[in-house]
Structure 1
């Protein structure tokens, strides 16, 4: 991305305006998405585009200088951005969730402090949780009020471009799993550019290593225990909230693939010689395939909206949220997650059926949509989401809280 990003020309006052801003940013990202995917460079320019569009502080209340939007709007923004570039859809989605970790685990005072600082600094938030890696440790430094953070996480989305990193760690003195906030400019934070996977190539999702990084006691945001009853139901919404992010950027990738394929079919694809029509847009098989894919995308959009509504209602309940209500939210999100995974993989593969052989040219980059969807949908097995939905339908059970459910 070589041209300078452009900020919105008028103040954003409604949720609809924010979606329009996101759509404009997505169109800019789509212009050279294939080229940037090939270049596989850290997305600093893309982050600048998000920052100058005002999207980074979307969820911060207006009285603290932010956009004052709710999570329904944030999910819509994620979906729009992902339609232009799936990697950046992931990046901004994780950013929103990680910036909210202080609300899930911290105090009201700490939340106010960090949100004002985030607006002032226009922070991008990155994360280093990945519970399947060996734990990062937080050890008292002997001064009585400080700690040292050490260890490595193999996946840290957004860390390469982040201004602040939220990390999971285990206190060596108490054994508690905690959430800590880290300023990555410290020399002990190593963020190598080692994300080299075939999809989501610009999501800045490589490894991160902490080597005796100082952490103040005030920067321990809270406890993050997966033991039953250790957290109140509100804090455990952290998982349905991020799973719903996945739903929306999977859907965005699928919708982006459909839109790109439609433009190509309208302008380039030739009708098959046996079709008896003059334009590919009149071929009955092309029409039927587009119809099938469009139905799939619209069905998932309805489920994605249900998931967004469910998460928003849970967040609005705050600490009054019950375990049963949280469980119903998790099931609603699991339904959407399973449907969006299947639809995204199907749509991104099958658009090539309606664009033709010439659409496989590498400079067009149609393959990136499937590569992006395939890469991130492996985050956690969709079969387990189906099991959760089936167990709820048959037995009325709710998924237990983990960092995946």
Structure 2
């Protein structure tokens, strides 16, 4: 049965001033803290209330606060929030946010996905807002360090009607049921896409999950990514004020601007960062195990004496780690290029053209294809290289990396991405223009 989420007592914390040298240190401290009890938390499979409190304490939810809304000066933006954001959001850039996502995901893939989805949702007002910069209360919610959950992706037509917003006094009433991949049990605010019963367009709304009409049904018993706060939410006549509508998408997907269509690309790219982080975390932990565990002797090998001097000197082991490390480096290079392209597109704003959006889509598709394959391959092969370290009773339990990578990458097919890339490279065809992830 759906239940009301537990009330969180940890107050949101605004981040310190942007400092390129500060965030890596802050993130490393949080990641080390998460890694220390990652195995126990993964086995417990409880909603990530404590994990979110750690993110809030470090100020990470407000890291990627968007700049001043489109069409508004920095002075006007600063005046609208009492000067708290300095008119520029006070946030870091996408490259910094990507590094944070990867670092957190290396320690705990679920929490990496949770913060990654939050960062994309924190830009909803910019991506879906009106050209004049109107975007409701979302900028203030993000600047105050509130964690966002939910999702703006269009629901699958086969899964039902999704959510609806009906006009009411001074706003709308939200109704329906929708499943979300992260944040439904722990978010301070939910960002959801719902069809307007009046116009048919998709409205992006900011919802308070503490309202009595919002009932969450958790889904923590999964193969992997068990701590993202995933689940289904029922909305029963939940009031949504006009100021809580962040933006809208027209009914016809082809009428969506190229800039707004960056929203699903941003989500796909940050999930690629999560997959890469999981792979890097798995490789690092497996390396520590392999350094400490002597390999089985190979009498037939000509350099057997190396093993006695250095347990990790097995040439076959070195070859395997060389291949896996190269795969991780390759994926990182592809993902970083896609991140740079996306960031440039976001900075371009509503002047972004269809051709530019297509180039970004190709880069993101390449990042997805490479990271999904690398993440699954790396997390699978480390189980072979470390052998007994995968047991549930003691050991490193490295199987959690494989489970997380498999659960995350199973949501999209690299075959489809590779086909789009090939069509673009061979025929100059743009990847399908869609606002679906």
TM-score under structure 2 length normalisation: 0.85
Deviations 1:307-333 (A, max 9, x none): 110100101111111011001000001
Match of 1:272 in 2: 296
State whether structure 2 residue 165 is matched by structure 1 residue 138: yes
Gaps of 5+ in 1: none
Kindly indicate whether the alpha-carbon contact (under 8 Å) linking 2:181 and 2:228 is maintained by their aligned counterparts in 1: no
User: For residues 323 and 80 of structure 1, what CA distance do their matches in structure 2 show?
Assistant: 33
Aligned pair in 2 of structure 1 residues 153, 129: CA closer, same or farther (>3 Å)?
farther
Once the two structures are superposed, the pairs formed by residues 360-379 of structure 1 within 5 Å of their partners are: 360-363=391-394, 364-379=396-411
Match of 1:396 in 2: 428
- Of 258, 261, 278, 2:286 maps to 261
User: For residues 51 and 151 of structure 1, what CA distance do their matches in structure 2 show?
Assistant: 30
* RMSD (Å) for aligned C-alpha atoms: 2.3
C-alpha deviation, 1:111, in angstroms = 4.4
Match of 2:117 in 1: 94
Match of 1:126 in 2: 149
Deviations 1:101-160 (A, max 9, x none): 01111246544853234333x20000144521322111123x3x3211111112341121
Deviates more, 1:63-72 or 1:340-349: 63-72
Aligned pair in 2 of structure 1 residues 15, 106: CA closer, same or farther (>3 Å)?
same
Deviates more, 1:76-85 or 1:389-398: 389-398
Match of 2:47 in 1: 42
Aligned pair in 2 of structure 1 residues 258, 358: CA closer, same or farther (>3 Å)?
closer
Kindly indicate whether the alpha-carbon contact (under 8 Å) linking 2:264 and 2:436 is maintained by their aligned counterparts in 1: yes
C-alpha deviation, 1:365, in angstroms = 1.9
Deviates more, 1:43-52 or 1:155-164: 155-164
User: For residues 136 and 24 of structure 2, what CA distance do their matches in structure 1 show?
Assistant: 26
Match of 1:148 in 2: 173
Tell me the secondary structure at the aligned position of residue 261 of structure 2: helix
- Of 7, 10, 14, 2:19 maps to 14
State whether structure 2 residue 380 is matched by structure 1 residue 357: no
User: For residues 248 and 304 of structure 1, what CA distance do their matches in structure 2 show?
Assistant: 7
Match of 2:193 in 1: 168
Once the two structures are superposed, the pairs formed by residues 286-297 of structure 1 within 5 Å of their partners are: 286-297=317-328
Kindly indicate whether the alpha-carbon contact (under 8 Å) linking 1:128 and 1:159 is maintained by their aligned counterparts in 2: no
C-alpha deviation, 1:230, in angstroms = 1.7
Aligned pair in 2 of structure 1 residues 11, 174: CA closer, same or farther (>3 Å)?
closer
State whether structure 2 residue 378 is matched by structure 1 residue 380: no
- Of 227, 240, 244, 1:219 maps to 244
C-alpha deviation, 1:386, in angstroms = 1.2
Match of 2:214 in 1: 189
Match of 2:77 in 1: none
Residues paired across the two proteins, number: 396
Match of 1:347 in 2: 378
- Of 337, 340, 343, 1:309 maps to 340
User: For residues 214 and 139 of structure 2, what CA distance do their matches in structure 1 show?
Assistant: 23
C-alpha deviation, 1:195, in angstroms = 3.2
TM-score under structure 1 length normalisation: 0.92
Kindly indicate whether the alpha-carbon contact (under 8 Å) linking 2:114 and 2:228 is maintained by their aligned counterparts in 1: yes
User: For residues 12 and 140 of structure 1, what CA distance do their matches in structure 2 show?
Assistant: 40
